[in-house]
């Protein structure tokens, strides 16, 4: 049986004793779901996976999303995206700037994101130290730490999340290879509206569901008041006590819960310090389904 070892930080746990190249049995999958709801981020060290095996593991958690403007996909397994700063024959092989600011993936879609699954193939190193940490913030803990008056104030409020806000911010960075979204791409990713407070489908705890990357306004408030409230919430949720950083090792598979966390990829490496990750993005189409919850969460 796998062993789940908490990091002792604001979130995160190591999962030992599993080979993700092999199919998970049902009892193990149910335990992993429960652990994800508790710890937010799970690390599976020392894995050796093909793109197809990464896809098959990821599919257990729900349907995989395809990027609207992401041309960097595995040629034989298009569900798997490529994140990398490596260039071959002068051309990038992957998206080099993915995740380099605080955000929650797919909060900009009507069906929210559920989990990200990232597999470390190459990790940049300098003086024997790995670079390119991913930092997380715990949104279950952030909500619990809000003063009761603030919890009451945001109850029932909704925020609009827009894909193009983060995209344009990344395009403005030096060296970005992102092109502006075409009108068709914009139309395929219209802004989405979500409550500021969600009930987490695994833990049942309330979650502060807004993020600096995509949340652009609060719909029930005048613009100035809504922007001030968002800035207050952003400052609160990024306090150090809610954060935990993962330091990558080649062979790590990291799975994290988009509903209960924020994340930020730290770009502290140079172009010749190579980073290569394979990624699957899983949507929340299954985890909110009562039949899925009854089968997997009650079995844990």
Give 97-142 as a DSSP string.
STT-SSB-TTTTSSS-EEEEEEEEEE--EETTEE---EEEEEHHHH
Tokens of 100: 């380099």
DSSP strand pairing (41-44 vs 13-16): parallel
For a pLDDT cut of 70, what percent of the chain falls above it? 96
Question: Cβ neighbours of residue 154 under 8 Å, at least 6 residues apart?
Answer: 146, 196, 197, 229, 233
pLDDT of residue 70: 64
Determine the length of the chain.
300
* C-beta neighbour count of 207 within 10 angstroms: 24
CA 25, chain centre distance (Å)? 25
- Report the topology of domain 3-296: Double-stranded beta-helix (3.60.130)
Q: What is the pLDDT of residues 122-175, one digit of tens each?
A: 999 999 999 999 999 999 999 999 999 999 999 999 999 998 877 777 777 776
**pLDDT (tens digit, 9 = 90+) per residue, 204-237?**
999 999 999 999 999 999 999 999 999 999 999 9
Q: What is the pLDDT of residues 39-75, one digit of tens each?
A: 999 999 999 999 999 999 999 999 998 765 568 999 9
How many other CB atoms sit within 10 Å of the CB of residue 60? 16
Per-domain residue ranges of the chain: 3-296
Q: Are strands 113-122 and 3-6 parallel, antiparallel or unpaired?
A: unpaired
300 pLDDT tier (thresholds 50, 70, 90): very low
Dig out the tokens for 296 from the structure.
Answer: 């997997």
Q: Hey, what long-range contacts does 122-130 have (CB within 8 A, 24 or more apart)?
A: 122/84, 122/86, 122/250, 122/274, 122/275, 122/276, 123/248, 123/249, 123/250, 123/275, 124/269, 124/270, 124/273, 124/274, 124/275, 125/273, 126/269, 126/273, 130/247, 130/248, 130/249
Q: Give the pLDDT confidence score for residue 218 in this predicted structure.
A: 98
Backbone Cα Rg of the chain = 19
Angle at Cα 74 formed by Cα 73 and Cα 77, nearest 5°?
Answer: 110
Average pLDDT on 245-264 reads 98
Burial of 86 (0-12, 13-18, 19+ CB in 10 A): middle
Residue 265 structure tokens:
């990829």
Question: Which residues sit opposite 197 in a β-bridge?
Answer: 208
């Amino acid at each position: 049986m796998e062993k789940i070892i908490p990091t002792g930080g604001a979130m995160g746990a190591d999962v030992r004793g599993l080979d993700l190249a092999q199919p998970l049995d049902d009892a193990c999958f149910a335990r992993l779901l429960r652990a994800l709801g508790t710890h937010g981020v799970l690390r599976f060290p020392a894995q050796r996976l093909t793109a197809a095996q990464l896809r098959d593991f990821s599919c257990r958690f729900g349907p995989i999303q395809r990027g609207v403007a992401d041309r960097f996909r595995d040629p034989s397994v298009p569900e798997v995206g490529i994140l990398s700063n490596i260039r071959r024959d002068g051309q990038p092989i992957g998206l080099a700037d993915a995740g380099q600011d605080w955000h929650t993936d797919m909060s900009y879609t009507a069906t929210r994101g559920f989990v990200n699954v990232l597999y470390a193939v190459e990790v940049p190193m300098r003086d024997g130290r790995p670079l390119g940490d991913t930092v997380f913030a715990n949104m279950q803990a952030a909500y619990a730490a809000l003063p009761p008056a603030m919890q009451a104030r945001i109850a029932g409020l909704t925020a609009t999340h827009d894909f193009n806000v983060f995209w344009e911010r990344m395009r403005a960075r030096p060296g970005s290879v992102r092109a502006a979204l075409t009108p068709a791409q914009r139309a395929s990713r219209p802004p989405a509206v979500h409550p500021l407070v969600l009930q987490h489908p695994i833990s049942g705890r309330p979650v502060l569901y807004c993020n600096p990357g995509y949340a652009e306004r609060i719909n029930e408030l005048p613009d100035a008041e809504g922007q001030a409230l968002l800035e207050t919430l952003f400052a609160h949720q990024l306090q150090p006590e809610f954060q935990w950083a993962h330091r990558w090792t080649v062979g790590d598979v990291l799975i994290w819960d988009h509903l209960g966390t924020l994340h930020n990829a730290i770009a502290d490496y140079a172009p010749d310090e190579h980073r290569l990750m394979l990624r699957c993005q899983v949507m929340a189409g299954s985890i909110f389904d009562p039949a899925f919850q009854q089968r997997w969460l009650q079995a844990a």
